[in-house]
Structure 1
Amino acid sequence: MGEMIATREAFGRALAACGAENRDIVVLDADLSKATMSSVFQKAFPERFFNVGIAEGDLIDTAAGLAAAGKIPFACTFAVFAAGRAFEQIRNSVAYPKLNVKICGSHGGIAVGWDGATHQAVEDLAIMAAIPNMVVLYPGDAVEMEAAVKAMVFYDGPVYIRFGRQPQPVLFDRSSYEFRIGKGIVMRNGRDVTLVVTGSLLAAAMQAADDLAAGGIEAEVLHLPTVKPLDEALLVESASRTGRAVVIEEGVIRGGLGSAVAVTLAQHCPVPMGFIGMEDTFGQSGSPEELLEYYHLTPAAVVERVKGLMK
């Protein structure tokens, strides 16, 4: 399968690298620095690192104060805690005044595995995308994560980025890849259906496209690492050519990428659509592989959904 790197590891490395170039970057963590990998920055720049303890509301409000003072704060915790415990502070202290705070949610999705439903963030993308002024990012591999962190530094405003614990296949070339907030990427051209994917399931979508091609179905793979703002022009252009779209995401369908794609295509290019993601359910304990299989977040499930849509 090639090189496998967890996006949280890439996040930690990129944060430290950016910190070496820009002394305005400060990092805050809610007592999870070893898990979120913000500890890499902590080791390199201890004077610019702040552990606020298990107090996510304080994490965000302190970051907001630092942003108001001209710093570029990266506030790190688990995705489920950022979207849940700190929602009010994110909404009122960061997004409403449009402060330059970067909210970093680790351990996103169900692939957290054995930690179970209480720690599996399946709603975070939907929650964050619903907040005005908030940019929402979900990179698909380590290379894209590193590039996204650098892009966040140069973007002036609130950003939420999700990353994961499990190693992911490296799909992009570090020497040539360029990340642009709000821009999607056509990973593979096709004529029969558009597979719209974000984040951790990018490799699954690529595998599904290979499997579909073996059966004579040419799938176009459209990766949208920016969940908000959506690259509507690229999405509409692709769906208008293929005539069908299947959305793939490791999170709830309603309110997440699936809803955003459905609204866009309903307005600009109505086509038959299918959705691969979490229905109205929480996760549960199990190995990441077992959970992805149980919730039908696999290449085989994508192939089955596409074939059903083709009929």
Structure 2
Amino acid sequence: MDNKDTNMSKVRLKTSAMIASIAEEGQKTAPAPFGHALSQLAETNPNVVGLTADLAKYTDLHIFAQRYPERFYQMGMAEQLLMSAAAGLAREGALPFATTYAVFASRRAYDFICMAIAEENLNVKIACALPGLTTGYGPSHQATDDIAIFRAMPNLTIVDPCDALDVEQAVPAIAEHQGPVYMRLPRGNVPLVLDEYDYRFELGKAKLLRDGREVLFISSGFMTMRALDAAKRLQKDSVDAAVLHVPTIKPLDEATILREAAKPGRMVVVAENHSVVGGLGEAVAGTLLRAGVTPAFRHIGLPDQFLDAGALPTLHDRYGISVDRIVARTREWL
């Protein structure tokens, strides 16, 4: 993010105060990066439209709606209708961005996404808030299995950005891609960390953010920022850890993963904000085994169960995805 972007973030519209941030105290954030990036894209692309199922304020799409009310569609609490309408708009040449919560897209609207959008390979972008364990509301809102549900769907690209910079850069990239995309969406005041790593989002590409000899963290979503913090903590104990950020889950950047995992002497630790079943961890493990690359392999993810409701810091620590738990488990494994 350049100085111009940083200055713009200071005067941007704020998102709802009802939306909790996953940012640590004192961490840099940017407000509503998805809403602002989509609005910026719409300035030069008149085909961009936004749709939501009664959740504009809670997916940051309200920023777009305020600037382009004539290109915004409020579909009400009807996620199946939302996806069908997005498919129809795409057939007529529009570039629809449909937003809802990840649980509602992956569970309620799965068949409509599959039959109306993916089978026809339509140019619909689905951006969904509350991925994984990013809400304390409980199983009705915690999309701990969304990647597992969508990974087997043909034609569907899956993106799991880390921070505000990742989101801002991913929006125009997925718009340029021809075909359906499912993007997990950090919302509200989103942490900003990747600007310190000379990072540039590229669809389908993993990025090595830091190198290390003893541990290789392979991560996506906000677990990449957790992995970066864990690597810094481990460095104080003379443990040298690398972090490979994988923002595109499908198609997976197998070449980069194999190249980094094949380096001798490194334990591979996959860290994801998703169930240990069917997500990035199993995708990486399958890639390694098929290629005959067999490093020591460990997996940090959410357990295969319905999770509790509560405060996010407590839940993250309870289910093993806090920085403290990542550091402790990595030390145990070394």
TM-score, normalized by length of structure 2? Answer: 0.88
Q: Which runs of 5+ in 1 are unaligned?
A: none
Q: Superposition pairs for residues 126-145 of structure 1, below 5 Å? A: 126-145=148-167
Moved over 6 A (4+): none
SS where residue 109 of structure 1 aligns?
A: coil
8 Å contact from structure 2 (residues 60, 187) kept in 1: no
Cα distance in 1 for residues equivalent to 2:253 and 2:283: 10
Question: Which of 294, 297, 307 in structure 2 is aligned with 1:273?
Answer: 297
Report the counterpart of residue 232 of structure 1 in structure 2: 254
Change (3 A) 1:101 1:174: farther
2:73 matches 1:53: no
Q: Which amino acid aligns with 1:155?
A: H
8 Å contact from structure 2 (residues 317, 324) kept in 1: no
Report the counterpart of residue 284 of structure 1 in structure 2: 308
TM-score, normalized by length of structure 1? Answer: 0.95
SS where residue 77 of structure 2 aligns?
A: coil
8 Å contact from structure 1 (residues 72, 101) kept in 2: yes
Report the counterpart of residue 192 of structure 2 in structure 1: 170
2:89 matches 1:70: no
CA RMSD in angstroms comes to 1.6
Change (3 A) 1:22 1:87: same
2:329 matches 1:308: no
SS where residue 34 of structure 1 aligns?
A: coil
SS where residue 215 of structure 1 aligns?
A: coil
Report the counterpart of residue 278 of structure 2 in structure 1: 255
Report the counterpart of residue 8 of structure 2 in structure 1: none
Cα distance in 2 for residues equivalent to 1:102 and 1:177: 23
SS where residue 249 of structure 2 aligns?
A: strand
Shift of 1:168: 4.3
Residue by residue over 1:26-65, the C-alpha shift from the partner in whole angstroms, topping out at 9 and shown as x without a partner, is 1110011111111111111111111111111110011011
How many matched pairs?
307
Report the counterpart of residue 299 of structure 1 in structure 2: 323
Shift of 1:202: 1.5
8 Å contact from structure 2 (residues 33, 190) kept in 1: no
Shift of 1:74: 0.5
Residue by residue over 1:50-97, the C-alpha shift from the partner in whole angstroms, topping out at 9 and shown as x without a partner, is 111111111001101111111111111011101111000011111111
Report the counterpart of residue 32 of structure 1 in structure 2: 55
SS where residue 187 of structure 1 aligns?
A: strand
Question: More helix by proportion, 1 or 2?
Answer: 1
2:28 matches 1:3: yes
SS where residue 222 of structure 2 aligns?
A: helix
Residue by residue over 1:140-181, the C-alpha shift from the partner in whole angstroms, topping out at 9 and shown as x without a partner, is 000110000010110100100001346443112299642110
Cα distance in 1 for residues equivalent to 2:126 and 2:67: 20
Cα distance in 1 for residues equivalent to 2:197 and 2:259: 28
